[in-house]
Amino acid sequence: MTSASPPPRGLTLEALAQAKKLPVDFLMSLGIQTDLWTGKARVRIPYMDEHGTIQSIRYRLALDGDMRFAWRKDDHVLLYGLPRLRAAVALGWVLIVEGESDCWTAWHHGLPAVGIPGKSTWRPEWATFFTRPGLEVVLWCEPDAPGLVAEIARDIADLRVIIPPADLKDLSDAHVRGERVSDFVAALRKGAQPRVGLPGGNRRRGPGGSRGASVGGWPCPA
């Protein structure tokens, strides 16, 4: 009787799905898959244009650490989830989040989201994707993204900002800890403020009444 082969080193789609508490089949439907490179597993994440054509590939190499991601050679940074913009426009609003896993969480819960691949990757030309008549643009403000709100607000004049509760980083965290994400975001969206209206020192409450972070104390509205 032969023994089972040991799992490959690195990160597989199954391990990533388990960590994010998302169905493997759902992630596979997005074109995400395990890719083997020099005998080590990594998760292949396609970045597409609005028409669904793959333009770039980003690899998830690990769940944690500084070396979690890598781009395919010669590929360019791109917004994630562009094929879903048409549906967002039809709904009248879109949520900008940081990272692919927050997009997956949003889509899994029926929310219109587009992702920035990293807190320092915003490009002014991306604003053209969001300047659509009647489209409300809401940004989820993460606590470790200094200056991101001001940077995006320079390019999207009507940007509104969600400040989540202090004990929560992102949508993926909310999902993993068992929040009903669609209801959670709906409650936070009601209190989303224009960038210019964010007062220093104001404190907001989360949907459950928990204290949010001090807006003046968070780096992102700087």
Q: How many CA atoms lie within 13 A of 80 on its CB side?
A: 24
Exposure string (b/e) for 94-133, b if CB count within 10 Å is 16 or more? bbbbbbbbbbbbbbbbebbbbbbbebeebeeebbebbeee
Residues 112 and 201 in one domain: yes
Number of structural domains (the chain) is: 2
Question: What are the angstrom distances between the C-alpha of 10 and each of 39, 40, 69, 164?
Answer: 9, 5, 12, 32
> 6: Cβ–Cβ under 8 A, 6 or more apart, which residues?
none
Query: Are residue 45 and residue 86 in the same domain, yes or no?
Result: no
CATH number of 138's domain: 3.40.1360.10
Mean pLDDT for back-to-back runs of 10 residues, the chain (222 residues):
65 97 98 93 97 97 90 95 96 97 98 94 96 94 82 93 90 95 95 67 40 40 48
Residue-level pLDDT at 211? 36
- 115 domain residue, yes or no: yes
